[in-house]
Amino acid sequence: MATLFRKVWESVSTRSSSNSNSSANSSDRFQQMMYIQTASTGEFDRIPLDIFIQILKILGPKESAKLSSVCKTWKFIVSDNRLWIYFLQNQHEPWDSIFFAETHLRLGPLRTFPNSVPDLSFMSIYGQRAQVPGAIVIDGGSGYCKFGWSKYSAPSGRSATFLEFGNIESPMYSRLRHFFSTIYTRMQVKTSTQPIIVSIPICHYEDTECDKAARRQLKEAIHSALFDMNVPAVCAVNQAVLALFAARKVSGIVVNIGFHQTSIVPILHGKVMHQVGVEVVGIGALKLTGFLKEQMQQKNIYFGSLYTVRALKENLCYVALDYEAEISKDTKASFQIASEGWFTLSEERFKTGEILFQPRIAGMRAMGLQSAVALCMEHCQDAELMADDSWYKTVVLAGGSACLPGLAERLEKDVCGILPPHMSNGIRVLPPPYGVDSAWFGAKLIGNLSTFPTSWCVMKKQFRNRSRRKFIW
């Protein structure tokens, strides 16, 4: 106890004597937030409030929680949400992401709180989150897969996506078994020890019976392959939905620039609105890299491989806010590739991303990205799914090529220029919140929830019983 008070005294003695200066300090801001009743706390009544707050902070979450058993007043003090929000703010995960997840996702799919924050005990949530085992997170992707444990700060590895893994002529179930076995081996984890979250690549877009059946079959194949490997619980979520969660939204439009094509996906309360319509533009990361390659060849710029071209695209290319004005500017810039030396690009830097908006530049007959997004918004409005039309006015970019600087600003400007004022008002386009790994981080939010895995996962017994009922009927 003497050590504790010595630490408290050292902390307090360093504070400025000026109240105006101390208000800028994060500890003092927290003190101003805290409200403690004047009821007795025993001998601690004699301790000044600011020192009292320091004691709670130094004690930490575990010891603070024990104080709730002392008396009613102590219980009131240490169960105050603001104290536990302070503790949560010092976690590795950003606090705003934790708050979003616990207030919007904790009850499971489609059970969100779009208009109000539920009455939650963050003291209880803190304890529950500390006991959550986490999950293996696999973001299927359309170009390559990202995998890792949800307690990690980032994906730990990458591989080919399961849609292109192994022999593509093999049955889907066999490819999935091979793929998941490889991931578990690379992570050195036993299949029976951890739940798993799998992001399902954006495919089978239409609302037809054929596409519905294809989506259902893919999801069931994922569950079957994993449960046959003795995985205890499985959560399979659409990749676009996870990218939206990473941006701390449950409704909006996700523009996913995939490997082969770009998908514009309307999502309401965590569910893809296939009945509204998913727009698809036949331009993806591969087309962008290929177009840059053609431009470099035309200027006789030698490169060793397509990986070099992709590195130049990722490090030098950008999207111009005004394409015509950009042509007259000096846009030369250089980048060094290990073992190949320096490369200098000029107008190729902004022409590459411009084909998303003007595909004809690359000789392609396709809809521009801005037109596809505007069309999707018009369909959302016509569907009249909600009285408030603001749900589709947040656009979240996803995918590696969506990280091109200037893309979000250009898309927002062009979409607002196409739509009438009553629709364009309030439109926001957000860049990928976690770059190429946005969907993985969206799954990470789910895997670290205080209610995981029960709120989001299908258990092996549930899946078997459901499959048996289907067979009987």
Q: Rounded to the nearest 10 degrees, how much is the dihedral formed by the CA atoms of 142, 146, 147, 150? A: -110
Indicate whether 219 and 360 sit together in one domain. no
CATH number of domain containing 347: 3.90.640.10
The answer as to whether 30 is a domain residue is: no
CATH number of domain containing 174: 3.30.420.40
Lowest pLDDT segment from 153-167, 253-267, 308-322: 153-167
The answer as to whether 361 is a domain residue is: yes
Indicate whether 203 and 328 sit together in one domain. no
Q: Mind listing the pLDDT tens digit for each residue in 433-449? A: 999 999 999 999 999 99
The answer as to whether 453 is a domain residue is: yes
Indicate whether 390 and 449 sit together in one domain. no
Indicate whether 285 and 310 sit together in one domain. yes
Indicate whether 316 and 218 sit together in one domain. no
Lowest pLDDT segment from 135-149, 244-258, 276-290, 421-435: 135-149
The answer as to whether 226 is a domain residue is: yes
pLDDT of 378 higher than 90: yes
pLDDT of 310 higher than 70: yes
The answer as to whether 273 is a domain residue is: no
Indicate whether 308 and 373 sit together in one domain. yes
Indicate whether 288 and 243 sit together in one domain. no
The answer as to whether 84 is a domain residue is: no
- Quote the pLDDT of residue 286: 94
What is the span of the domain harbouring residue 225? 136-248+436-471
As for how many domains the chain has, the answer is 2
Indicate whether 200 and 296 sit together in one domain. no
- Quote the pLDDT of residue 273: 96
Average pLDDT over residues 125-149: 88
Average pLDDT over residues 103-121: 69
Indicate whether 446 and 335 sit together in one domain. no
- Quote the pLDDT of residue 242: 97
The answer as to whether 155 is a domain residue is: yes
The answer as to whether 67 is a domain residue is: no
Indicate whether 286 and 427 sit together in one domain. yes
Indicate whether 421 and 440 sit together in one domain. no
- C-alpha 263: how far from its chain's center? 17
Indicate whether 452 and 405 sit together in one domain. no
